[in-house]
Structure 1
């Protein structure tokens, strides 16, 4: 048996696995409406001030849906990039036929260090909230939103590995996320939250991606197409845990405690943090430059019961990433530290 300390999908508590393992219900009946309504109401407590749509799909699909609904071909879109998922976001915007202006940072830098470069007049700024590949959180969303709105544009946020462990205010115009990371549920649910349906473009889009369709059906607590029913079972249970049993503030604090332990301990044995500024360290994924071959690190931990991730983007061959979302304890992280100390001593 192994335990997953990855950037997602995350290690699930047994209660959420049990909630998931049910007979899927018919999605045009009263029972489903009750389930759907419950989940949407819970998500509305996470995304305060937003309308929430749940679609079958991945985090990438959620980002694509957001882009295809709020951008149209020919629009000029600014995409600041500080990692792999920023690059993928730019590719999504390009696939829509928009004109993309990229702004790059160095690995480990926050987009917030380049905020002056975002003061341009464009249709939209699309950016990643929590850059999974670098372990960097871009937390200046409110400042960027003011800048963009003052210039007459909209702000679109990829928070697939962020919310709710990386909290967001309601400054952005739309947010894309997914069920299988900090929301503590299985893969299969794409979530798009938006403030103003009037901003949805009338330009044609695939019916399965049209948030207008979801709005119409959501009014009667249904979805236009078959939803990820079992994922919704699990998501209802995970949201009960996050919102009612733990509470959002404590949930964020739990992740803070986990990353502090890893950064404090591993920095002492030669693992250099990728985030340049400690204040920019993601609460959900830690990233380190490895003092030895990263493949040796991941293989050794797997042999001893823990699965972590290799690096991505420009530092793929030099780094490791350890996720702290999911059913992870401080004892798990201490065990990982002990194992890595032993590995470093061998090398």
Structure 2
């Protein structure tokens, strides 16, 4: 049947009807007074979502572009940086640091295992000369469905005194309680196609005063990605370059929807969906990649040698998209996204279809065990 495709992946995520309608409006001039009012509303609501008084800058990029901007605006060639790597995206940030000529030290963990906070403490405390300029952390590592202990790592960064913390919150912002001001996070990047519930194309960066001080001494060349330009434009409810006007219409509407739901309810919903998905997987005798106490609220990774068979049947027979594994986990895991515009019904439907898929593949489990477990977790 046409138009029944359902995204149960960690991005892009489903888009609400009201947002789709907003995306389809006729564009207006991006230097007009009417558009300036939209930017003003968006900026205020972005601060609400980020739980910060800092400026939150909107860039015409994906989450990767936001993270790159978050590094090259506050660091310099040759700077020593620590990068947490326990998945695809942590590794990507390390690669970016290396491309830009930074002294990059990886603190690693097996994919699906949270980063060891004590390794960061040891490195930072040993740096008596204050040579470490930044610590780069992926909060929710969606390639493995694991949530890293950002709060604890940031405490060690703050105790260091000199280093910045640069955070990939691409799939945790809007899905997990991330109080930027309370935790005193310096640079936090995210992307539109995740918890924001709009299509890809916008990246967001929250920047605090300490990071802006580092901006003044950063030596990387930049033009389009120069956050100073965005800061000046932001103060005038404008943009330094032509923005994706219709995406901004969608963002305005999505943020209004999120405000009506409320932050506490948004976080509670994502946790409830995570718990239901994980309970169902356990009841079906499937192996979870990440432990319960470090589970991402964006996506659940499930290990099985039938991963691609499961994804294929779910897509072809039920028109439900599940994510696969990346790099060395390709074909070894599948991932169920429960991020953004996802409801209890979406998860229950996905688990029901997953059970039918497993039956077709000859997997042995108690009838309706997954559905029962998910339903119990959603009560």
Q: What is the aligned partner in structure 1 of residue 265 from structure 2? A: 250
Whether 1:316 and 2:326 are equivalent positions in the alignment is no
Whether 1:268 and 2:283 are equivalent positions in the alignment is yes
Match of 1:81 among 85, 89, 92: 85
Note the alpha carbon deviations across 1:66-94, whole angstroms, 9 max, x for none. 01111110100000111000000111111
TM-score scaled by length of structure 1: 0.95
Whether 1:226 and 2:230 are equivalent positions in the alignment is no
CA contact (8 A) 1:93 1:100 kept: yes
SS of 2:331's partner is: helix
Residues in 1 aligned to 2:266 and 2:185: alpha-carbon distance in whole angstroms: 22
Match of 1:110 among 101, 108, 114: 114
SS of 1:322's partner is: strand
Q: CA deviation at 1:327?
A: 3.0
Between 1:118-127 and 1:58-67, the stretch displaced more is 118-127
Q: What is the aligned partner in structure 2 of residue 134 from structure 1? A: 144
Residues in 2 aligned to 1:118 and 1:169: alpha-carbon distance in whole angstroms: 25
Q: What is the aligned partner in structure 1 of residue 200 from structure 2? A: 187
Q: CA deviation at 1:145?
A: 1.8
Question: What does 1:236-247 align with in structure 2 at a 5 Å threshold?
Answer: 236-243=252-259, 245-247=260-262
Q: Structure 1: which 5+ residue stretches go unaligned?
A: none
CA contact (8 A) 2:282 2:288 kept: yes
State the Cα RMSD in Å.
1.5
Number of paired residues? 343
| CA shift in 2, pair 1:82/1:118, >3 Å | farther
Q: What is the aligned partner in structure 1 of residue 17 from structure 2? A: 14
Q: Which runs of 4+ in 1 moved over 3 A?
A: 112-118
Match of 2:230 among 214, 224, 235: 214
**Larger Cα-atom Rg:** 2
Q: CA deviation at 1:112?
A: 4.3
SS of 1:207's partner is: coil
Q: CA deviation at 1:337?
A: 1.6
Between 1:54-63 and 1:40-49, the stretch displaced more is 40-49
Note the alpha carbon deviations across 1:275-331, whole angstroms, 9 max, x for none. 0x31110111111102x4211111111121211110124322210011112332222
Match of 2:53 among 49, 65, 70: 49
Note the alpha carbon deviations across 1:7-66, whole angstroms, 9 max, x for none. 101011111111111122211110111111110110011221321110101111001110
TM-score scaled by length of structure 2: 0.87
